[in-house]
A and B are shown apart, each in its own frame.
Chain A
Amino acid sequence: MSEQSLKRIPFDDADEAKVRGAAMWMFGAGALAALSGVAFTLLLVMQSEWAFLLSGPPAVLLGGLLYRAGKAFRDVADTDDADQEHVVNGLENIRLFFLVKCSVFACGLVLVVLQALTASFFN
């Protein structure tokens, strides 16, 4: 943390609306991701379909990270106690969100390629 961390970043009303809007859509996207993650995890258990391993539990984690990021960004707009700290907290959660999302995307890609190679090998 910097020595001179700003309690207030002087956003005007229009900018605060953008920050609040970003936080609101993060809550929305996070809630939908978490719900679909739970549903896909349920499908994973019901059908033992391993493809859902990549779309179930990670989506719940992504939803949680978005919730935390949204909360930090909402605090930037609604409070003036530690704006700079809230910005960094929000961005840390966003960093983790994209790290997990990229990893899931890469794993999915590898699985698709492996499946295609296996199918062509056995055919």
Chain B
Amino acid sequence: MKRELTAEEELARIPFGDAEEQTIVGAAAWMRRMAAFQLWFGVWLVLIVASAIYTIAVGGSLPGGLGFALGTTTWTLYLLWGGFLLRAVAKHLDLVAETDEADQVYLAISFDKLRQYFMLEAGFGALALISSALLIARAL
């Protein structure tokens, strides 16, 4: 027979089974891997942006001009910001699976960070859609 949970228990523990906890930990693990990819590439692009700024500062011209600089900066922000958000989501999902102190609060934080990540992802998706439309228009 199912026992009614008290308000404190509801906040502290959501009774995920072992298989469900594995799903949560698995999701967190893949988010952490994606975050690592994004952060490494973000740092790499920061170096490219820094070298571009240096090139402009010493009076040189950029290959690709302003478009290159804007594109690289956008990519850098997307990769770094997204990477940090994903790491935060993964950390809170791990806490949901591994502790029983405030599952519901951690889940709510995870949803909030996921919302921010997918806002970024939607912006990036819009850029991908525009570039694919431009490529199709050029091909026709």
List A1-49 residues whose CB lies under 8 Å from chain B: 1-6, 9-11, 15, 18-19, 21-22, 25-26, 28-29, 32-33, 35-36, 39-40, 42-43, 46-47
Say yes or no: B107 contacts A9, CB within 8 Å. yes
Interface mask (B20-33 → A, CB under 8 Å = 1, otherwise 0): 10011011001101
Say yes or no: B24 contacts A91, CB within 8 Å. yes
Q: How large is the interface on A (under 10, 10 to 19, 20 to 34, 35 or more residues)?
A: 35 or more
The smallest beta-carbon distance between A64 and chain B, in angstroms, is 14
Count how many chain B residues have C-beta atoms less than 8 Å from C-beta atoms of the other chain: 42
- How far apart sit A66 and B26, CA to CA, in the bound complex (Å)? 17
> Does A71 count as interface, using CB distance less than 8 angstroms?
no
Say yes or no: B14 contacts A9, CB within 8 Å. yes
Q: Which residue of B lies closest to A99 (CB)?
A: B30
Interface mask (B100-140 → A, CB under 8 Å = 1, otherwise 0): 00001001100110110011011001101100110110010
- How far apart sit A98 and B31, CA to CA, in the bound complex (Å)? 6
What secondary structure prevails in chain A residues at the interface with B? Answer: helix
- How far apart sit A26 and B117, CA to CA, in the bound complex (Å)? 9
> Does A50 count as interface, using CB distance less than 8 angstroms?
no
- How far apart sit A100 and B133, CA to CA, in the bound complex (Å)? 24
The smallest beta-carbon distance between A63 and chain B, in angstroms, is 9
Say yes or no: B111 contacts A19, CB within 8 Å. yes
Say yes or no: B2 contacts A95, CB within 8 Å. no
Can you list 7 A-B pairs, Cβ within 8 angstroms, ordered by A? A2-B15, A9-B107, A15-B108, A21-B115, A43-B136, A46-B139, A55-B128
